[in-house]
Chain A
């Protein structure tokens, strides 16, 4: 693709290489570690579900026992597969017995290694086949029903009650939404377990549970068939249960997942080691499930200034892209985030936003970029807010964004009311239709301020990446290079859940994922 902004291909390739070095550094750090969340994910993928008498998920019960016993460095898999072989029980039954105190995994004799590995491999293949089937079901739906044109119209529902969410989601689908994101309840990202079952109470959102995923998926399939368009479902594989939620989404056919460690580190104060380790495993699951991930760079501009910090978004996107590649995600599944967040009082602000959106499009030509609406400068003036969102929508269509998260005129006030969403979708559809091929007609003046702005952002991002290569990602985050927020490698929540892998660490699901995704990375670590 010819760059309309005259961006320098070589400079961008160099920036990518720098981001690649930063990503390699991170990978070196994470590959010899596991976390409680990864081990719980393995159990869930192998079929463990449900909670004990006190409502604690069985996955937590088992992994916590292994951790307390000092054996998590070997992974949870060997113990449970040994248990299954010795007792002849399914993983579910085994888990229930352990939770009831009727069975002690640690006192069972060790089964012969070869059979154990064979059974582990079998369980892993079965687990990944389930994900594969779910992916195929999506592809079948897409063939049968088709989908809306890009940018996909993405809206949120956030009632706290999954059944109320369904009403709002179905209405939104009828109004023209392509992606429904069920916002999670406040604070779920900090829970070190995934709640269980259908839920009807939440604050500012609805609990992400496997049952809620299933219920919403069924509702969207139903309305999708009625409107003749596949409706994608989005949730949040982020926070302390990042890989577990990725696994649940993969099994229940979610289509889009917020999946960004950097967001959790900066905005939820989650420990950076923990969440970067979790992220790699969760991204492999998302990659294999055909799920589009969304990254959260757009949020940097809610705390830092959108004009001054634009390059931090680009630098972070490049790092996220490189990390995602190392987890097997194809570009077509990288919904890298960016945002329309400049102060509306800036003269020519629209031109700069336009230049940056075009720049992102050109630098990531195959990615379904996720373009985020104004939030920081939204006020109680809903009428002006509607106009701000209209300008945002105009840039979305004129620069060919992949996913347009629609702004709501009531952004600064409350989670969307049913008609807020209608008005937002109506406006977006009007603008998308009315300016559908605007991008084909536009060229930019090569010495104009839009081209200059894009070049400036690329220059600054390159310089920042150069600085970060020398420091490494951890040190860079400690210095507040992103979002003006400072985090330390040992600070934040969830650090206790990080475990150094022993030489005999065993994780059949990870091995199968590496193989099916065709990744060599981590081979020396994961192969025993």
Chain B
């Protein structure tokens, strides 16, 4: 039995510690450059560094590919990563779940907020047609979905959520500059708190630069990265709603 409390990289033999790496040093190409790279890797605490490729980049720079053996080990049994834990159901199961456990239509408002003009993410989750063969939320008979499109201000999103009495808000952030999506996402949560709406809503964000852990840090209930489909999001919303109903008693 392999000991998961002491894990080292695996090349072709258990515990061989094999790592590959590549980097450049600002030194002219030559034997001295290769030796410098070898010694540098040894200083990183890696054993038996081997320079398998060195290339002159010009401007007194040299590129290396190396192999070496790592010595440090890590205890895999202590690793914890937050994830969306509700089980993912399919289109039919989700609609049935809503009928059985919520007993009314679930209202979802979605938007691509701030300066972002890229609706590819929110459209994939919400539009009738959906993405990769999975229908979007608009197609769900038990869900009322409102896709507000792109460049929606947080204020407009909240107005809409109040107007349609939303259960959940979806925020998509695809292309951002200077991480402007982070303050923008935080602002929405702050505004919801200020209006006393935060606890009533399931608030979710998604986009290629987001994941569940970041979302939790920003004060969201869940975050979804690239490759997410409508059932992933819908399953979370309905489970979260039911969880909150039951926890009230």
Contact = CB atoms under 8 A, between A and B. Distances in A.
Interface stretch (A384-392, A417-425, A508-516): A417-425
B177 A174 contact: no
A173 B22 CA distance: 22
Contacts of B58: 170-171, 173-175
Contacts of B23: 419
A173 B120 CA distance: 37
Nearest to A203: B178
Given A303-B120, A485-B150, A422 B115 contact: no
A269 interface: yes
Contacts of B22: 419
Interface in B42-64: 55, 57-59, 61, 63
A171 B59 contact: yes
Contacts of B120: 303, 484
A187 interface: yes
19 contacts: A171-B61, A173-B58, A174-B58, A174-B59, A186-B177, A187-B178, A204-B177, A266-B117, A269-B115, A269-B151, A303-B120, A417-B24, A418-B57, A418-B63, A419-B22, A419-B57, A484-B120, A485-B150, A486-B149
Nearest to A426: B55
B27 to A, nearest CB: 13
Nearest to B131: A305
A422 B23 CA distance: 12
B117 A422 contact: no
B154 interface: no
B59 A167 contact: yes
B118 interface: yes
Which 5 pairs between the two chains have the least Cβ-Cβ distance? A174-B58, A419-B63, A171-B58, A171-B59, A186-B177
A267 interface: yes
Interface in B151-197: 151, 177-178
B119 interface: yes
A486 B149 CA distance: 10
Given A203-B178, A422-B55, A485-B118, 14 more contacts: A167-B59, A167-B61, A170-B58, A170-B59, A171-B58, A171-B59, A173-B58, A175-B57, A175-B58, A267-B117, A269-B115, A303-B119, A419-B24, A484-B123
A158 to B, nearest CB: 14
A190 to B, nearest CB: 10
A419 B55 CA distance: 9
A418 B24 contact: yes
A238 to B, nearest CB: 15
Interface in A302-353: 303
Contacts of A485: 117-119, 150
Nearest to A173: B58
Interface string A479-519: 00000111000000000000000000000000000000000
A275 B177 CA distance: 22
Contact of A422 (B57, B119, B149, B178): B57
Given A171-B59, A422-B63, A303 B118 contact: yes
Interface string B92-132: 00000000000000000000000101111001000000000
A484 B55 CA distance: 44
A422 B63 CA distance: 9
Nearest to B176: A186
A295 B24 CA distance: 34
Residue picked from B23, B117, B120, B149, most chain A C-beta under 10 Å:
B117
A419 B24 CA distance: 7
A63 to B, nearest CB: 27
A418 B61 contact: yes
B140 to A, nearest CB: 23
Interface string A182-221: 0000110000000000000001100000000000000000
Given A303-B120, A418-B24, A419-B24, A186 B57 contact: no
Contacts of A174: 57-59
B130 to A, nearest CB: 13
Contact of B177 (A167, A187, A422): A187
A191 B15 CA distance: 55
A204 B179 CA distance: 12
A126 to B, nearest CB: 39
Nearest to A304: B120
A307 B150 CA distance: 23
Interface in A167-183: 167, 170-171, 173-175
A171 B57 CA distance: 6
